[in-house]
């Protein structure tokens, strides 16, 4: 049975465009494969803490009497296990201040782990997650595509391409709704275009 991991990171709840699009992606994949085993994680409702020196020390085997740290390390292991088990990851990623939400960065810091999703050898870093399919629903308030005046400020899609590429993911797909803060009419047009693109996704 194929496993799908659905991640949302927007803080806007039902008003979020990225959440609407990521949900539509999951629905589309479920239609193509009704037996999909789906795990959902909402990084806004249940955020992960950001990495600290104590996290890194514990990961290296240092003992700690901090119960909160132990709980957080257990959460880290659960997040990594979810990612490793998934065949497909659907990720809702809105642009906040030109890049990803901090909640999403905290999640990424838990899955980019030496020996688990990448390793170093004589040739340099080697990704270990190359068999996974990652589909990203991106929402952007303005226009940041190639050739636009704000293109140099686009650090969301470029970052995600870089970090997933680092861990070996080459099967990376993006569905984009942009200009959603330009006005209500354009927001609806951008959302409709993204939802239409969802219908063209290949089967899970």
Q: Does 18 carry a binding-site annotation? A: yes
Position 72 scores a pLDDT of 85
Q: Does 22 carry a binding-site annotation? A: no
pLDDT tens readout for residues 47-63: 999 988 887 777 777 66
Residue 160: which domain range? 3-198
pLDDT classification of 38: cutoffs 50, 70, 90: very high
Which contacts of 150-157 are long-range, i.e. CB under 8 A and separated by 24 or more positions? 153/98, 154/95, 154/98, 155/98, 155/99, 155/100, 156/93, 156/95, 156/98, 156/99, 156/100
Is 19 a domain residue? yes
Give mean pLDDT, residues 156-176.
97
Q: Does 10 carry a binding-site annotation? A: yes
Is 116 a domain residue? yes
Position 43 scores a pLDDT of 98
Helical (H) or strand (E) element with 176: strand 171-178
Give mean pLDDT, residues 136-140.
98
pLDDT classification of 204: cutoffs 50, 70, 90: confident
pLDDT tens readout for residues 95-134: 999 999 999 999 999 999 999 999 999 999 999 999 999 9
Q: Does 16 carry a binding-site annotation? A: yes
Is 204 a domain residue? no
Q: Does 164 carry a binding-site annotation? A: no
Q: Does 97 carry a binding-site annotation? A: yes
Least reliable range by pLDDT among 24-28, 33-37, 55-59, 92-96: 55-59
Position 163 scores a pLDDT of 98
d(CA 189, CA 58): 48
Indicate if the pLDDT at residue 68 is higher than 90. Answer: no
Does residue 47 or residue 67 have the better pLDDT?
Answer: 47
Is 203 a domain residue? no
Is 152 a domain residue? yes
Position 62 scores a pLDDT of 67
pTM of the model: 0.94
pLDDT classification of 65: cutoffs 50, 70, 90: low
Q: Does 142 carry a binding-site annotation? A: yes
Least reliable range by pLDDT among 62-66, 116-120, 156-160, 199-203: 62-66
**In the chain, how many domains are there?**
1
Report the sign of the C-alpha dihedral through residues 62, 118, 157, 7, in that order: negative
Q: Does 140 carry a binding-site annotation? A: yes
Is 97 a domain residue? yes
Q: Does 144 carry a binding-site annotation? A: no
CATH code of 67's domain: 3.40.50.360
Is 73 a domain residue? yes
Give mean pLDDT, residues 25-32.
97
Is 100 a domain residue? yes
Position 51 scores a pLDDT of 81
């Amino acid at each position: 049975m194929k496993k799908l991991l659905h991640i949302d990171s927007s803080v806007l709840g039902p008003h979020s465009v990225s959440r609407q699009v990521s949900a539509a992606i999951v629905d589309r994949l479920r239609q193509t494969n009704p037996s999909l085993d789906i795990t959902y994680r909402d990084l806004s409702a249940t955020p992960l803490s950001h990495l600290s020196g104590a996290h890194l020390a514990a990961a290296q085997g240092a003992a700690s009497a901090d119960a909160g740290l132990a709980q957080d390390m257990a959460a880290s292991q659960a997040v990594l296990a979810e990612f490793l088990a998934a065949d497909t990851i659907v990720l809702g990623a809105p642009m906040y201040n030109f890049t990803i939400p901090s909640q999403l960065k905290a999640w990424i810091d838990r899955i980019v782990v030496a020996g688990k999703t990448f390793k170093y050898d004589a040739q340099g870093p080697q990704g270990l997650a190359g068999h996974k399919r990652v589909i990203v629903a991106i929402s952007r308030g303005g226009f940041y595509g190639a050739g636009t005046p704000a293109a140099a400020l686009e650090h969301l899609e470029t970052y995600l391409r870089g970090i997933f590429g680092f861990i070996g993911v080459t099967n990376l797909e993006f569905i984009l709704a942009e200009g959603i803060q330009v006005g209500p009419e354009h927001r609806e047009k951008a959302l409709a275009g993204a939802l239409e693109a969802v219908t063209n996704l290949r089967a899970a």
